[in-house]
Amino acid sequence: MKRIYVQMSSFVKGRKAAGPVGISIILGLLSFMPRLLIVTFLSKTPEPPLEWWQTSVIYQVYPRSFQDSNGDGVGDLQGIRSRLDHLEYINARALWLSPMYESPMRDFGYDPSNITNIDPIFGTMEDFDELLADVHSRGMKMILDFIPNHTSDLHKWFQASKAGVEEYKDYYVWTDGNLTANGTRVPPNNWKSFFGDSAWEWVEERQQFYLHQFLKEQPDLNYRNPKVVEEMTNALRFWLERGVDGFRIDAVLTMFESADLSLNEPLNNRPGAELWQYESLEHIYTSHQPETYEVIAKWRHLADEYYQKDGNYRFLVTEAYCETIQQAMYYYHTGADMPFNFDLVFLNRTCGGDCVDRAISNWMTNMPIGKWPNWVIGNHDNKRIATKMGTEFVNAMNTLLLLLPGTPTTYNGEELGLTNIEVSYEDTQDPFGKRFGPERYHEVSRDPPRSPMLWDSTHSSGFSNATKTWLPVHPDYEIFNAEAQRKAEGVTPLKMYRDLSLLRQEATFQRGTFKPLLVDENIYSFVRELEGESLYYVILNFGSTEAQVDLAEQGLPENGLVKLNSGDFHHSDYNVGKEIKLNKISLNPGQFLVIKYDV
């Protein structure tokens, strides 16, 4: 049984109060050391107040799929504005808005042609300002998706660069490539795009190749050009001036590549990866280059400028799917408040208590001292958790998300327990899915978790009055929609999510210690504790069989009060508000208990 003890005060971002010099030196020396067993942080100085991003649930809104206000079958900004009551209902205090920038939509906004303007499909800048004002009027915060690695090939910068206009000539990564014996120009190396095949595209007009680590319509910016860094910093400043509260920085791992374009990346011999696929190479020259961290530090400095002006903290979170935990942890040292933690995203039904423990411990034991943890169970690029784990585990997964220490991020619809939809190849929108053709598109398409949000039992579940929506509406919308779940008797995923989110506001979950208890092939359990506050035990069954749990053996009190349960017990033994004995708890797969003990 693994035991980890972490004092939450060690995670507090100390920007308002500095600790003793001696402790600072020690923390600096220990920052890269794994803490495999026990981590504690002792301080007699008052703890600084938590920032908003530490106390909030971050709620990701995918604009195309949230709410359509004008009947074109695509969600928009006014639609989001009309649904802010939902965020308040689930106690989500920060809205992360996926791209709404001007774009030809080859990758649905992640290919911006103007990163300081709103695409007409989503509305106008006035619509954005009204949405932001409404968010702030409710005491909530807005985080924008910022896309630094590339632009659309229709961006005015790329059009000028392609034409050889001197001012923009080096805004992107260009090369002559190599000349073969027969006089043909070929790419300078074997680098692959995320979408497969060469990351280089020939431009006849310029007689050179340009780099694109994603679609060929998404040329990579050249951050070795100081003008590019300045342009993108100014784009951040544009949105900060409008009043946004932070940024999710997309695909940071690919912002820089080796300056030596002659270097080939080695094969990794990954089973099942074909040579044309990105996954076939070790990306030692095209990802996690040290210069990336310097640019993020520059953006942290910019965000802090605004923090100093008005006292409103500007939040930065990085998105990078890393090969090693050490790569992920390094982003904590760049000035980002945290790198997204995707360890829970990849859980599936083969994962029991031991497996869940490994995923959580992997982050907690490697995280640098003084940094803040975070958890994600789903997003617009990955299968929904109900599809991966099974619908009976939705409430258990949201319990982990919301009651573990740190900041939780929820993708719209996960609070409803939505599953992926089926999308035919003919209806497929995702360019990555299309790349694999009708035989294999279903293996990789990102469309299934992007289906429209389910609001009620009316036409298109209240998402749109259009005849056809951009992606099909979930066929079970009459069961899973938000209105039905709010009104239903008993526990639903939505009502459970709300209860968990409200419970998370208690001081014990905001600042308390975290200690795993009994962990085995079925059970994952932990305790949250804070001096002078209620103590909580959380016990979950992630296994495939019924499990008997004796928490008294763990040195806990004999009795405790049921604060929450998974709602699927067929007896009254574990009813909320009932005092139970802790020496014989029985849980079926997917069931959990949150037990309160007043010290």
- Domain boundaries, given as residue ranges, for the chain: 520-599
Active-site residue flag, 520: no
Tell me the H-state helices in 351-414. Answer: 353-364, 385-389, 394-403
Question: What are the distances in angstroms from CA 201 to CA 193, 220, 243, 254, 410?
Answer: 10, 11, 38, 17, 37
Catalytic residue among 119, 220, 250, 529: 250
pLDDT in tens, 110-135: 999 999 999 999 999 999 999 999 99
Task: Check pLDDT > 70 for residue 289.
Answer: yes
Active-site residue flag, 319: yes
Helix (H) or strand (E) holding 47: none
Catalytic residue among 319, 337, 343, 414: 319
User: CA 282 to CA 199: how far, in whole Å?
Assistant: 14
Half-sphere exposure of 329 (CA within 13 A, CB side): 17
Are 547 and 593 a contacting pair, CB within 8 Å?
no
Q: Which pair of structure tokens corresponds to residue 25? A: 């030196």
pLDDT at 469: 98
High-pLDDT (> 70) share of the chain, % = 92
**Total-model pTM:** 0.92
Computed over every residue of the chain, the mean pLDDT equals 92
pLDDT at 55: 98
450, amino acid identity: R
Termini Cα distance of the chain: 25
pLDDT at 45: 53
Residue found by looking up tokens 């074109």 in the block: 72
User: CA 565 to CA 101: how far, in whole Å?
Assistant: 42
The domain defined by 520-599 folds into: Immunoglobulin-like (2.60.40)
> CA 109, 259, 320 angle in degrees (round to 5)?
40
Residue found by looking up tokens 């319509």 in the block: 217
Task: Check pLDDT > 90 for residue 13.
Answer: no
Average pLDDT over residues 135-149: 98
Largest CA distance in the chain: 83
> How does residue 554 score in pLDDT terms, banded at 50, 70 and 90?
confident
| Dihedral class, residue 577 (left if φ above 0, else alpha if ψ from -120 to 50, else beta) | left
Task: Check pLDDT > 90 for residue 26.
Answer: no
What sign has the CA pseudo-torsion 420, 426, 432, 438? positive
pLDDT in tens, 202-245: 999 999 999 999 999 999 999 999 999 999 999 999 999 999 99
User: CA 560 to CA 595: how far, in whole Å?
Assistant: 6
pLDDT at 570: 81
